[in-house]
Amino acid sequence: MKIGVIGAGKIGGTLAARLVAAGHEVAISNSRGPETLQGALDGARPMTVEDAARFGEVIVVSIPFGRYREVPADAVGHKLVVDTNNYYPERDGHFPELDDDSTTSSELLQAHLPDARVVKAFNAISWTNLRDAGRTADDAERLGIPFSGDDERAKRTVAELIDESGFDPVDAGTLAQGGRKHQVDAPAYGKGLPTAELRSRLGG
């Protein structure tokens, strides 16, 4: 599968490495340009944000949430978008609709990319666990990763990517309901939980 990663920080870069190891063709980009990524990641192709968005069948968005409107909607089109972002007001500035919980950050990204199929995933795991804690599918101590979205086919694809990355996919529900269960400060956020405990915290 061709995957375009927008954002080469700790989560974006680590996930790109995981996806390369799983056998996918991966393009990676950042706001500073591909020349700053040369040699930074074995197996991934440095590109501009626009080119990475056009390259991938699946697009991973891993930039500071406050810049979500910089994701090129025309280049993304009708593709599957994996949203790894989290809202941190001290970094991103205040979004009143998030502060009063009338919507979620992933729903705002979905509104910005109206033709895409957004699935929230990989936002609730630390980058060090993403790098170091992946295990085989038969390992009883495997960690779970929650994901949420409104398109069932897209969610199945993301579940496969989570599994290939060395973790158990745990369906949290829709972007609105499920997304709130694994956003910042939610019970499933950032804990690095074994699958059974994660399911319990998600209420499933």
- pTM recorded for the entire structure: 0.95
- Take residue 165 and report the two structure tokens written for it: 């990355």
**Do 4 and 59 contact (CB within 8 A), yes or no?**
yes
pLDDT at position 98? 97
Nearest to 84 by CA among 16, 1, 185: 16
Structure tokens at 77: 């089109």
CATH number at residue 138: 3.40.50.720
Nearest to 17 by CA among 129, 121, 131: 131
Tell me the range of 29-43, 96-110, 127-141 where mean pLDDT is highest: 96-110
Q: Could you tell me the residue range of the domain that residue 82 belongs to?
A: 2-202
Does residue 198 have a pLDDT over 90?
A: yes
Strands of 117-121's sheet in order across = 44-46, 25-29, 2-6, 58-61, 80-83, 117-121, 144-149, 168-173
Average pLDDT of the residues in 1-16: 95
**What pLDDT was estimated at residue 12?**
95
The predicted pLDDT at position 32 comes to 87
Whether residue 40 has pLDDT greater than 60: no
Q: Tell me the C-alpha distance between 12 and 132, whole Å.
A: 15
Number of folded domains that form the chain: 1
| Beta strand 168-173 pairing with 25-29 | unpaired
Averaged pLDDT score across all residues of the chain:
94
| Model pLDDT, residue 164 | 97
